[in-house]
Amino acid sequence: MPCAIRIVVQAEPFDTAAEIATIRNADANVGAVVSFSGICRDESGRLAALELEHYPGMAEAEIGRIAHEAVQRWSVDALTVIHRHGKIVPGDDIVLVLAASSHRQAAFDAASFLMDFLKTRAPFWKKEHLANGSAGDWVDAREADDAARERWKRDTEK
Amino acid sequence: MPCAIRIVVQAEPFDTAAEIATIRNADANVGAVVSFSGICRDESGRLAALELEHYPGMAEAEIGRIAHEAVQRWSVDALTVIHRHGKIVPGDDIVLVLAASSHRQAAFDAASFLMDFLKTRAPFWKKEHLANGSAGDWVDAREADDAARERWKRDTEK
Amino acid sequence: MKLIYFAWVRERIGTAEEEIELPAEVTTAGDLLAFLQARGEGYAEALRDPKIIRVAVNQEHVGHDEPITGAREIALFPPMTGG
Amino acid sequence: MKLIYFAWVRERIGTAEEEIELPAEVTTAGDLLAFLQARGEGYAEALRDPKIIRVAVNQEHVGHDEPITGAREIALFPPMTGG
């Protein structure tokens, strides 16, 4: 069955409720919707904001490649990925991933897979702005994120 | 850190967007919110509705035990579980599970764990109402749901 | 002791709940199922395959070999299908 | 050929993008990194640890041993930290 894929990269905030309302009506057979919201934290007051740089064009293309891989692997009816760039303050959304399916496990797996690959393959970079006014540094990539991606490798790829 | 647990069993519809808005503000350190919506399907037109019977008192208590187990196992800041009973038509929500955490994997795992245990431990039973007007039957428990629960067993329990 | 039935167990037994005096030799959940099976056709039909019947004592799941003596409320029901 | 830099690679090189003519012997992504390192202090600082530098050719990730000949657009950047 064809899967509706919606990919958005934008600076503006997005409406999570409206996105969920749309995807749950993608198909009368949707029985499970999993959503993931990635939210800017203040890290116990340390951060004033995160600034997200991205590679326009490749960001959308790479998210599209990741989404198509998810569709190959799980029986999902619809996927939505929205990723913001620019300055984002604590409490605001950075990323939204939605997966709709007939059954819950496919929706959980597809959403979790999308997040693990977004973290390590989508061309976005976070720079910190500190609450004390000083310039922050670029966020380091986490080895835990690479490990999270590795667990999705198929046996033939290991 | 204490985890805010919200458990509701009700016949009325609920507001997923409002629930997500509440849980994402549970704590300034919430960086990840995973939601799961379980939605009544029409099974390609076969069903007119599902009727959910439940065990009042035990339903809330058992969901509470499952939620506390999740809190023991993952570092989550807040959990919400809302489960409806009574007659539910296709397209309407049956269950909502939300998990808020600093990091995504704990939120994904806690939400997925809650769903697997709700399916097999929470005292709810579904009866079908068929679209052709005839009385439907009770939905059979699925072995796949038991298998899904078993994968959460700790090594010491196997 | 209060007995409560749900879903098709309730339908087959023909009542949602009842008060019952248990003989002293009925001490486990499994004993209770055997005892009830002999109470009539509806019970026999509802509990024909006792392995799949779930038992809750005072609103907590128990295994069939667990004691029920002194329970306030015992519920019998099929495998759950919520979620 | 258009080269594009992101995040701290961009900051250290001191420009977001540039047009460059590559010598014929620069045929892989790894060759390109070595070639650029010799172009000045900013490049040397940005590409000091070439292992961790990611390369995209025409907006697709490539390994350091992959060919870049004929590419329209090549981007160099640190490991990604989105999501």
The amino acid sitting at D46 is: A
Please state the domain count of chain B.
1
pLDDT truncated to tens, each residue of chain D (83 aa)? 999 999 999 999 999 999 999 999 999 999 999 999 999 999 999 999 999 999 999 999 999 999 999 999 999 999 999 99
Report the CATH number at residue A36: 3.90.1170.40
Q: Is the pTM of this model over 0.90?
A: yes
Give pLDDT tens digits for A86-107. 999 999 999 999 999 999 999 9
Collect all residues of chain B within an 8 Å Cβ-Cβ radius of residue A75. Answer: none
Report the complex ipTM: 0.94
Q: How far is A52 from chain B (nearest CA, A)?
A: 16
Sequence-separated (6 or more) residues with CB below 8 Å from residue D42: D12, D13, D14
Collect all residues of chain C within an 8 Å Cβ-Cβ radius of residue B138. Answer: 7-8, 78, 81
Collect all residues of chain D within an 8 Å Cβ-Cβ radius of residue A54. Answer: 82
Least CB–CB distance from B108: residue in A16, A20, A112: A112
Give pLDDT tens digits for C62-76. 999 999 999 999 999
Q: How far apart are CA A5 and CA A35, in angstroms?
A: 14
Q: Chains A and B: how many Cβ contacts under 8 Å? A: 102
Q: Please check whether the domain covering C9-77 is classified as CATH 3.10.20.30.
A: yes
**Domain that residue A87 falls in:** 4-156
Compute the average pLDDT of residues A47-66: 98
DSSP 3-state helix, strand, coil percentages of chain C (rounded to 5)?
A: 30, 25, 45
Give pLDDT tens digits for B49-86. 999 999 999 999 999 999 999 999 999 999 999 999 99
Domain boundaries along the sequence of chain D: 9-77
Q: Which of A53, A48, A38 is nearest to A126 (CA)?
A: A53
Question: Which stretches in chain C have pLDDT values below 70?
Answer: none
Collect all residues of chain B within an 8 Å Cβ-Cβ radius of residue A17. Answer: 16-17, 20
DSSP state of C63: -
| Nearest-by-CA chain D residue for A94 | D83
Q: Which of A24, C52, A73, C82 is nearest to B116 (CA)?
A: C82
